[in-house]
Chain A
């Protein structure tokens, strides 16, 4: 059964550094998403992406964040200058007509 995959599973970085989180959505899905979940809190929407552009973004998704689909399979989330409060699980998801399917997540720890 096709799955969303994410790399790395855990990323540790210093405050102020740039990080890139990578995702491979399910191959025939057209909509892609990033969500995050701070420890003990709700899953929060960050951004949706369709037809090579952002279709919707939340207030969290400020100028420090960007997304890209550099080729036909990968979907990336870049955080330009990480802050302590960016520490969270980041989930990629892709959607078909049935629903949104999530990857296993990348745990980002900002020191």
Chain B
């Protein structure tokens, strides 16, 4: 059974304090690892798709990396508007995404 574990559950940062979120996964035949941002009461907002170990993607202050067992979402010099829940999901054989529980990020000015 495909599984995704995210850590930490919650993270508080000062504005400008860089950090990383972790996503560990087990999946039969990885066909994509996905990062989403979710604001309260809203739908997941697509950020990145990673397909193979060693791949990296960047968008503004966010950078996602992938190994054979885990992915990291690095946040460089975060701002208060980066506060959200960050979700990791994997797609194995089939079409569905299996999500982790998310990391709640709070950035204080």
**Residues on A facing B (Cβ under 8 Å):** 4, 31, 33, 35, 41-45, 48, 50, 55-56, 58, 89, 91, 95, 98-105, 107
Contacts of B94 in A (CB 8 A): 48, 56
Provide the residues of chain B in CB contact with A56, threshold 8 Å.
94-96
Interface size, B (range):
20 to 34
Complex alpha-carbon distance, A58 and B34, angstroms: 20
Among A58, A91, A101, point to the contact of B46 (Cβ < 8 A).
A101
**Bound complex: CA A52 to CA B79 (Å):** 44
Binds A, one of B19-27, B37-45, B62-70: B37-45
Q: A43: which B residues are within 8 A, CB to CB?
A: 44, 87, 89, 97, 99
Closest 3 CB pairs of A and B: A102-B43, A45-B96, A48-B95
Report 18 cross-chain contacts, Cβ distance below 8 Å, ordered by A residue.
A31-B95, A42-B102, A45-B98, A48-B94, A48-B95, A56-B94, A56-B95, A58-B96, A89-B41, A91-B43, A91-B44, A98-B49, A99-B34, A99-B46, A100-B34, A101-B46, A104-B42, A105-B41
